[in-house]
């Protein structure tokens, strides 16, 4: 018998607020059946900021609308705090949706826009005053109570829309591309604002976007979707550093894709031949015979072909070194991107970040220069190819 633990053990680290099981959505259209969601299983944890990310048409809005109750799933169950809610209509679900078009009431003041949901719920007058006041101060809207929506900037309108949604204290906040009408600078400012407010209030949030930078910057976890399926769920760094599929690697950031053949698989890992070098790689598991290697541009180091320092690095050090030449250079300010053609014809993207304190542009290879591309085995990620 084991001794009783002196500290309570939490059975699960995160508790789920929403659980989506086997959700499928088929639309009947004039041109036949369209399966917008194939079979979605997803757990949304208490207090987290979860982003659904994927290209246009992959089913993000459909999934969000099913959570909100605006759309019925063809099959599967949506549960909230352990209770199935498929039959609960949208207006009875403790959720609020923030749209791309803020949909503020143009004839109501900022205060009345924010108070709207509380008035509908017949909340006492004093409580409305207090709750609206608190939300307005958190959102930096104090002083704008009597303005009309047309008298606000885009960012302020967005904050009013958010204030109106959070003031009713929903269990879950749903966002469908709420920032896509804003210009780039305001977008960036609003995304940190939104994140700050969400963290301060601790409201479980589901955020839909097709913007990978936004997803990376804001989320606790990201759900990457493609063609009605979930490709991967993970924290931003997991999605970026350990993509499960080629789709994910390609969609999030830039990826070189290298053909490789598996020589042997064992407990030591994956033994592969790539660019003429035999290497032992980390085996992420779950791979079939068929896989590809993904390599991020920032993991390719370029040195001048005649540099003596690098000559003594051999494959034993778990490096690939492949000679080639620089075909193209793009100077991006904080970094330079190189397209290198290796001697076997393989094209590689390499990225080198800059710092005035550390290096000078003169150190960089130029177009047409011979270079040695070096890659450490740990930077080669084995992933499933496209189906
Ligand atoms: N009411 C509908 N009737 C028929 N097909 C629909 C309907 N709503 C969505 N679809 C289809 O389902 C698929 C998923 O649509 P959805 O709106 O969920 O995509 P999305 O990922 O939100 O895309 P976007 O980034 O462009 O907003 C698309 O192919 C779309 O055309
Ligand atoms: Mg959409």
> Which residue from 26, 32, 36, 212 has its CB within 8 A of the most atoms of ligand 1, so it is best to mutate?
36
Nearest CA to ligand 1 atom 29: 57
Kindly state if the Cβ of 253 falls inside 6 Å of ligand 1.
Answer: no
Q: Are 62 and 36 in contact (CB under 8 A)?
A: yes
Segments of the chain with pLDDT less than 50: 1-12, 310, 315
- The CB-side HSE value for 115 (13 A sphere, CA atoms) comes to 19
pLDDT tens track for 52-78: 999 999 999 999 999 999 999 999 999
CA-closest residue to ligand 1 atom 18:
59
Task: For ligand 1, say whether the CB of 225 is within 6 Å of any of its atoms.
Answer: no
With a 6 Å cutoff on the Cβ, whether 24 touches ligand 1 is no
- Confidence at residue 79, expressed as pLDDT on a 0 to 100 scale: 97
69 in contact with ligand 1, CB cutoff 6 A: no
The number of the ligand 1 atom at minimal distance from the alpha carbon of 63 is: 18
**So what's the pLDDT on residue 317?**
76
For atom 14 of ligand 1, the residue with the nearest CA is: 59
Q: What is the per-residue pLDDT for 211? A: 92
pLDDT tens digits, one per residue of 319-336? 899 999 999 999 988 899
- CA-228 nearest atom, ligand 1: 14
Q: What is the pLDDT of residue 266?
A: 74
Give the residue extent of every domain in the chain.
16-246, 297-306+316-375
Superfamily, domain 297-306+316-375: Nucleic acid-binding proteins (2.40.50.140)
Cross-strand pairs, 295: 256
The string of DSSP letters for 208-223 reads EES-HHHHHHH-SEEE
- Distance, CA 60 to ligand 1 centroid (Å)? 8
Q: Check if 303 has its Cβ closer than 6 Å to any atom of ligand 1.
A: no
Whole-angstrom Cα distance, residue 323 to residue 343? Answer: 6
Nearest alpha carbon, ligand 1 atom 17 = 61
Q: Does residue 297's CB lie within 6 angstroms of at least one atom of ligand 1?
A: no
Top-level class of domain 16-246 = alpha beta
Strand partners, 383: 292
- Pocket test residue of 33, 38, 61 for ligand 1, highest count of atoms within 8 A of CB: 61
Contacts of 44 (CB under 8 A, 6+ apart): 16, 17, 18, 19, 20, 50, 172, 204, 206
Q: Phi, psi at residue 7, to the nearest 5°?
A: -110, 140
Q: Residue 98's pLDDT is what?
A: 86
- In this structure, the residue with its CA closest to atom 19 of ligand 1 is 57
- Ligand 1 atom having least distance to the Cα of 225: 21
* pLDDT computed for residue 145 by the predictor: 95
Q: How far is the CA of 211 from the centre of ligand 1 (A)?
A: 17
pLDDT at res. 355 = 80
Shortest-distance Cα residue to atom 5 of ligand 1 = 27
Task: Tell me if 27 CB under 6 Å of ligand 1.
Answer: yes
To test the pocket of ligand 1, the residue of 25, 33, 60 to mutate (highest count of ligand atoms within 8 Å of its CB) is: 60
Closest CA to ligand 1's atom 7: 27
Question: C-alpha distances in angstroms, 53 versus 213, 231, 233, 299, 329?
Answer: 10, 10, 10, 25, 30
For residue 34, the ligand 1 atom closest to its alpha carbon is: 5
Q: End-to-end CA distance of the chain, in Å? A: 49
Q: Read off the pTM.
A: 0.88
| Nearest-ligand number for the alpha carbon of 37 | 1
Sequence-ordered list of residues with C-beta below 8 angstroms from that of 320, at least 6 positions apart, any chain = 274, 275, 277, 279, 373, 374, 375, 377
Query: How high is the pLDDT of residue 312?
Result: 52
Please report the atom of ligand 1 found closest to the CA of residue 27. 4
What is the reported pLDDT for 269? 81
Our answer on whether the CB atom of 360 is closer than 6 Å to any ligand 1 atom is no
């Amino acid at each position: 018998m084991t001794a009783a633990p002196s500290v309570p053990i939490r059975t699960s680290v995160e508790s789920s607020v929403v659980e989506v099981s086997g959700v499928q959505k088929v639309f009947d259209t004039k041109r036949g059946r369209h399966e917008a969601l194939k079979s979605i299983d997803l757990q949304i944890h208490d207090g987290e900021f979860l982003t659904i990310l994927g290209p246009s048409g992959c089913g993000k809005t459909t999934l969000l609308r099913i959570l909100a109750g605006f759309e019925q799933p063809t099959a599967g169950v949506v549960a909230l705090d352990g209770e199935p809610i498929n039959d609960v209509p949208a207006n009875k679900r403790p959720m609020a949706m923030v749209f791309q078009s803020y949909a503020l009431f143009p004839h109501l003041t900022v205060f009345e826009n924010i108070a709207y949901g509380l008035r509908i719920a017949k909340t006492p007058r004093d409580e409305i005053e207090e709750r609206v006041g608190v939300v307005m101060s958190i959102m930096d809207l104090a002083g704008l109570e009597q303005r009309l929506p047309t008298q606000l900037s885009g960012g302020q309108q967005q904050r009013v829309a958010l204030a109106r949604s959070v003031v009713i204290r929903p269990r879950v906040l749903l966002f469908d591309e709420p920032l896509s009408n804003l210009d780039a600078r305001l977008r960036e400012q609003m995304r940190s604002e939104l994140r700050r407010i969400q963290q301060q209030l601790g409201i479980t949030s589901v955020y839909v976007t097709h913007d990978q930078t936004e997803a990376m910057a804001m989320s606790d976890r990201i759900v990457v979707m493609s063609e009605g399926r979930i490709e991967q769920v993970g924290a931003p760094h997991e999605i970026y550093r350990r993509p499960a599929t080629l789709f994910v690697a390609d969609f999030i950031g830039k990826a070189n894709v290298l053909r490789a053949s598996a020589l042997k698989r064992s407990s030591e890992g994956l033994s592969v031949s790539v660019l003429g070098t035999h290497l032992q790689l980390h085996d992420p598991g779950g791979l079939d015979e068929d896989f590809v290697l993904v390599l991020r541009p920032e993991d390719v180091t370029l040195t001048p072909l005649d540099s003596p320092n690098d000559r003594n690095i051999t494959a034993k050090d778990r490096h690939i070194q492949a000679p080639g030449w620089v075909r193209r250079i793009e100077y991006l300010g904080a970094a330079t991107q190189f397209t290198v053609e290796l001697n076997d014809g393989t094209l590689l993207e390499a990225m080198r970040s800059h710092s005035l304190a550390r290096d000078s542009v003169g150190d960089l290879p130029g177009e047409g220069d011979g270079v040695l591309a070096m890659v450490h085995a740990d930077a080669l990620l084995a992933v499933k190819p496209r189906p």
